Structure formats: C-alpha cells, structure tokens
Amino acid sequence: MAGVGTLRRWLTLATGLVECLCFALYGWPALVFVLKTEGYFGSPGCVDTPGANATQVQGHAQEWFSLVFAVASNLSNVLLLPTGFLLDRFGTAVARLMATFLFTTGNLMVAFSTPGDRTFQLFAFSFIGLGGLMFLMTNMQVGNLFSSHQTTVTTLYNGAFNSCPLFLVIKLLHEAGISLCTSFLFLATSSFTSSLLRTFFLMPRDHIPYPLPDDYTYGYELPIKPCTRHTPNRTIAHPISRYLCPFLLLYTLLSSGLSEKSFSECLISKFYVSQLIWLSVIQLRQLFFVGTLQPMLQRLAGGQQSLVSHYTNVFAVTQLCGMLCAPWNGLIMDRLKGKPRESEQEADLRALVLSLSLTVLQCALFSVCAAIPNLRLQYLTFVLYMINFAFLYGGNATFILVTFPLCHFGKLYGLCISLSSVICLLIDTCLSLLNGAILYVNICLTLLVLLAFINPLVVHLHCRGLASQRAASAAIGASSSLSLPH
C-alpha cells in the first residue's frame, strides 16, 4: 500500500462518509412537514372555488407532495443509467462535476422558489436526488482502498446515504426560526465548495482498481505511476510524463477490458435478472411506505398535529441509526469469506447468500407491521424499515461490485436502479386501481416481497454447483493418483 498514503486514504473515507450523510433526498417526511407549514403545494384556486374547504385543500396538497416524491425519486433513479455510462466512460472526476452541478442547482431552485412553483419543485428535487445518487455511486469504489474491508466500507456508505439527516436538520432549524431559503442557500454553497475540493484532492480522476496495485496513487496526481528519474535523495516526475501518462492510462484500460465479460453478457446473466427482481420488489415496498407515511400518521393520530410531528421526528431520528446498522451487512459478508480452495468470487457469492436472505426476511416483517393500523406499533415499523433500508442498497451495490467486472459497474448499477424504478411505477399503478383499499395493497405488497427470495436461491444453487464440481475434480484427481504405479 506504499502508493496510497494512510492519511489520504482515511481522509477519503471520512469525507466520503460526510458527503453521503449530507447529500441525499431521504428524510422526505420531515421536509413535507416544513413545506406544509410554508404553504407549499396548496391550491389557491381551490380556496377561491365556492364550496371548497380546508379538507379539500389539504387533500389536494397531499396529492402534490406524493407526486413530487414519486417523480423525484423515480426520475433520479431512471436517469442514473446515463450517468452510469458517464462514470464508466469518462471517469470519476467528470461524474462528480456533473453531480456537483445538479445538486447545487437543485438546492438553489428550492431556495428561490415560491409555494406556487409546482413544476419548479418537481425539477428541483429531481436534481437533488440525482446529484446525491451520483455522489454515492462515485463514492462506493472507495472500499477498494481497504481491500480486506471492502464490503464493510461499501455498506457503511450506503447506510450513511440512507440515513441522511439533512431534511430533519432543516425541519429543526425551521422550528428554531431559520427560513427555508437560508437553509437551502447554505446547503448549496457548502456542498459546492466541499464537493469540488474532494473531487480534485481526495478522489481519482478515473477509477479505483480492485485489487489495488501497490504503487497506486490518486488525487491531484495521475492515477498511474509517472515516468521518473531518480536522484540520491528523492524521486522527481519527468515533465514528459504529463503528456504520455493519459495515453498509457487509456491503453491500460482498453487492454484490461478485453479479457472481461461484455456488458451484454452481464446484462442477461441469471445473477443480474434475479438481483433486479430482488431490488424491485423490496424497493417498491419501502417507497410505498415512505410516500404514504404522512397520510397514514394523520389517520392513525386522528388529525392531531402534535402527534404527527412527534412520529415524524421519531421516524427521521430512527433513520439516522441506519449508518450504524448498514456495516453489519458488510461485516457478515466479510466474516463468511475465506474457505480454503475457494476462488475469491466464489467466496464473495457464498457470503452474499445470507445477506440477501436476511434482507428479504426483514422486509417481510416490516411489511406485516406496516399493515397493522396501530399507532404505537409504528415505532417497531420504523426500526424494521431502518434496518431493511440499511441492508438493501448496500447489499445491492456490493452484489454488483463483486459479481461483475468493475469496468461495467456504473452501467450495471445505474441500469439496475433505473429498471427497478420503472417496475415499481408499473406495479404501483396497478395497485392504485384498488382505490385506496390500504389493507389489500399491503397484502399484495407483502406477497410480492416473498418473490425476492429468488435471488439468494439462485446464488446458493450456483455456489453449490461450484462446490460439487470442485469435489468431483478432487475425486478424479485422487483416483488418478491412486492408479499410478509406484
């Protein structure tokens, strides 16, 4: 690890963790509470209409809140596919600059918006969501700097991203008298400055390889070892290296990609298809819960705003613990690796089986609790949701990282998130035909979650097949050695 300084590696890890904690669209229910207070998405036309009352206005506003969340989360997920191609084609630095532009623009749009700017808000929160996801996608390769704890770092970042306290902090600041405009202006300025500094000094221009070469460097230096001439006391980079190294880097990337699986082969593999099913059904259950949390709390609390605010705060605070639970997933996988005579990828796949199964089981329990109309039971629902959310996206990113070539990570990760969002929209449209029959919707979603067990089953059968082949090969080798004359 001589090529990468210990201080730089740990600074990269720490600043990436802060970035994941602060640059996300999660915590939406807390922001909804603030936006309602500010009168966002209220219908002035409805108020002026004869016969319109406060209940109609509130219902109309809630429809818009649900629409903004659905559009922003799904649109940012769908657009993650072209950004994945951008990451694989042009590298980390270009992708992060695009993420900085989107996230900063989205925050500025919210800061200068008015309650009546509905379409403006749709684009603003979509930019914030997509920018945050792009930051996360570029940060997940940081685990390659810590090879023995790669999975733990990846799940820690995903847990931090899913535990983002940003909107909760904005809600608390709003209650303390800080305006929404001031909060988002500060967020835009600080995020722009910090992300640029980290892009140029603590992140690579291209990608972090795995396994990590001993002479690998990054951040304000070219990500390959420069041509040098030696002096008795120090090593000086030759000036011509700044011209030759980009061509050497391109040649290295192209030559290394020839021996990897093609993108189409990865796309039609049984692993990718089963992973897509696994992610889609669990993500659908979680998005439906978050999108309907406010009206559910209103109904269970009997319209008491103090209770609704309390449970909204509890939900937001509970999500902060996701950063603590997400590394459990990585630790489970790291501890299960390392059986003798196993290849590195086989050990990774075998470790993934338990993680994938636990995630489905958590979602099934969370779905059952969410379906029971009891206000106090929602404390348990929040905890189960937090644990499941922490396991889901970290497990998905780890699965793609260890199963497929790194050169296709951006495309495969972006496509997986995009397709799962499209599937969620289609299924959600079908569920909306039940006309608000929440009990039947919850039953349908719980049954759909059980389909996710297909993924760990596929991986388990594959690992068992590899073990059987290895045992058969060992038996043939043993019989051959016995048949040789002594």
**What band does 5 get if pLDDT is binned at 50, 70 and 90?**
confident
Percent of the chain beyond pLDDT 70? 80
Which strand (E) or helix (H) includes residue 21? helix 6-22
Please compute the mean of the pLDDT values over residues 142-165 and round it to a whole number: 81
**What band does 198 get if pLDDT is binned at 50, 70 and 90?**
very high
**What band does 257 get if pLDDT is binned at 50, 70 and 90?**
very low
Answer yes or no: is pLDDT of 154 > 80: yes
Q: So what's the pLDDT on residue 332?
A: 79
**What band does 41 get if pLDDT is binned at 50, 70 and 90?**
low
Q: So what's the pLDDT on residue 363?
A: 94
Q: So what's the pLDDT on residue 146?
A: 83
Asked if residue 250 belongs to a domain, the reply is no
Q: So what's the pLDDT on residue 431?
A: 60
Please compute the mean of the pLDDT values over residues 85-98 and round it to a whole number: 90
Answer yes or no: is pLDDT of 234 > 60: no
Identity (one letter) of the amino acid at 425?
A: L
Answer yes or no: is pLDDT of 311 > 80: yes
CA angle 463–468–469, rounded 5-degree value: 100
Q: So what's the pLDDT on residue 214?
A: 79
Please compute the mean of the pLDDT values over residues 34-63 and round it to a whole number: 59
Q: So what's the pLDDT on residue 34?
A: 84
Please compute the mean of the pLDDT values over residues 200-228 and round it to a whole number: 71
Percent of the chain beyond pLDDT 90? 18
Asked if residue 485 belongs to a domain, the reply is no
Tell me which residue range forms the domain holding 368.
Answer: 6-226+261-470
Q: What is the DSSP string of 303-353?
A: T-HHHHHHHHHHHHHHHHTHHHHHHHHHHHHHHH---TT--HHHHHHHHHH
Asked if residue 252 belongs to a domain, the reply is no
Asked if residue 477 belongs to a domain, the reply is no
Q: So what's the pLDDT on residue 484?
A: 53
Identity (one letter) of the amino acid at 273?
A: V
**What band does 450 get if pLDDT is binned at 50, 70 and 90?**
very high
Please compute the mean of the pLDDT values over residues 224-229 and round it to a whole number: 41
User: How many structural domains comprise the chain?
Assistant: 1
Please compute the mean of the pLDDT values over residues 343-364 and round it to a whole number: 85
Which strand (E) or helix (H) includes residue 470? helix 454-483
Q: What is the mean pLDDT of the chain?
A: 78
Q: So what's the pLDDT on residue 15?
A: 92
Q: So what's the pLDDT on residue 435?
A: 59
DSSP 2: T
Cβ(160)–Cβ(323) below 8 Å = yes
> Which pair of tokens denotes residue 452?
């996710």
Phi-psi label, residue 231: left if phi above 0, alpha if psi -120 to 50, beta otherwise: beta
Asked if residue 239 belongs to a domain, the reply is no
Report the CATH number that the domain containing residue 32 is assigned in CATH: 1.20.1250.20
Cβ(201)–Cβ(7) below 8 Å = no
Q: Buried b / exposed e across 118-147, counting CB within 10 Å, b at 16+?
A: eeebbbbbbbbbbbbbbbbbbbbbbbbbbe
Which strand (E) or helix (H) includes residue 235? strand 235-237
Q: So what's the pLDDT on residue 98?
A: 93
What is the separation of C-alpha 337 from the centre of its chain, rounded to a whole number of angstroms? 24
Secondary structure class of 6 (helix, strand, coil) = helix
Please compute the mean of the pLDDT values over residues 258-285 and round it to a whole number: 84
Q: So what's the pLDDT on residue 238?
A: 37
Answer yes or no: is pLDDT of 43 > 50: no
Asked if residue 246 belongs to a domain, the reply is no
Q: Which residue has the higher pLDDT, 186 or 80?
A: 186
- Of the segments 27-36, 215-224, 420-429, which one has the largest average pLDDT value? 27-36
Q: So what's the pLDDT on residue 339?
A: 57
Q: So what's the pLDDT on residue 58?
A: 58
Q: So what's the pLDDT on residue 230?
A: 38
Answer yes or no: is pLDDT of 104 > 90: yes
Please compute the mean of the pLDDT values over residues 304-326 and round it to a whole number: 83
Q: So what's the pLDDT on residue 193?
A: 93
Answer yes or no: is pLDDT of 236 > 70: no
Answer yes or no: is pLDDT of 99 > 50: yes
In sequence order, the 6+-apart residues with CB closer than 8 A to the CB of 53 are none
d(CA 161, CA 140): 11
**What band does 167 get if pLDDT is binned at 50, 70 and 90?**
confident
Q: Is the peptide bond before 211 cis (omega within 30 degrees of 0)?
A: yes
Q: So what's the pLDDT on residue 244?
A: 38
Q: So what's the pLDDT on residue 66?
A: 72
Asked if residue 245 belongs to a domain, the reply is no
Q: Which residue has the higher pLDDT, 273 or 234?
A: 273
Tell me: the pLDDT tens digits for 386-408? 899 888 888 888 888 888 888 88
Phi, psi (degrees; rounded to nearest 5) at 364: -65, -45
Please compute the mean of the pLDDT values over residues 464-474 and round it to a whole number: 79
Alpha-carbon dihedral sign for residues 310, 314, 320, 322 = negative
Asked if residue 237 belongs to a domain, the reply is no
